[in-house]
Amino acid sequence: TCTDGGWTRPEARWPEVSIDIPVGAMRAYEFDAVHLGDWAIHCHKSHHTMNAMGHDVPTFIGANKTEVSKKIRTVQPDYMAMGNRGMADMGEMEMPLPDNTIPMMTGWGQFGAIEMGGMFSVVKVREGLAADDYSDPGWYEHPEGTVAYEWTGDIPEPVKSDDAKTMTPATPHGGHKQG
């Protein structure tokens, strides 16, 4: 509803699920609490420019870092590679941080360690909360069948059809020619 340049006229506003705000910029936005749940409001930009986060390092997600970690520890004995499943593993360790570092890897939720837990606020939308009730209603109780789970059954064969009636041939478009 507002940018660095001032308030935005109501007819010029649009709905968003993510708001990208540059470092040093300002936005005012409206949060309509119409959908029940726990909603994260995450401010990440200042962390990119001012804190202990590097982006010129390749990701290790899914990699086996055992051997490379041993080699690095010969010159840096306290070295620990980032977790191979993301960053939650680091938060589970609850290690001390340098004084000038925001505690980004902190917090526990109903599914375990919360990655970036120190970097966002949770808005808890519930039915029946009074406007002046600031007590914590606890974690959102998800309706039956709405939480993702790991499939452990057999993987079914993909559905394929050689029936010409179900196939749609690609057609040339925009003046491009096939072949």
According to DSSP, residue 84 is labeled T
Q: Decide: helix, strand or coil at residue 42.
A: strand
Longest CA–CA separation in the chain, Å? 68
Taking residue 145's Cβ as centre, other Cβ atoms within 10 Å add up to 6
pLDDT in tens, 19-37: 878 777 888 888 888 899 9
At position 104, the amino acid (one-letter code) is M
- For the record, the structure tokens of 127 come out as 């039915």
Q: Decide: helix, strand or coil at residue 179.
A: coil
Tokens 């029936």 — which residue? 163
**Which pLDDT score, from 0 to 100, does residue 65 have?**
83
Q: Domain boundaries in the chain?
A: 39-136
pLDDT in tens, 108-123: 788 887 776 667 778 8
Q: Taking the complete model, does pTM exceed 0.75, yes or no? A: no
- For the record, the structure tokens of 63 come out as 């990699």
**Contact 73/81 with Cβ under 8 angstroms?**
no
CA 99 to chain centre: 26
Q: Which residues of the chain are under the pLDDT cut of 50?
A: none
- Its sign, for the CA torsion 60, 151, 109, 45, is positive
32-35 long-range contacts (CB < 8 A, ≥24 apart) are 33/123, 33/125, 34/125, 35/125
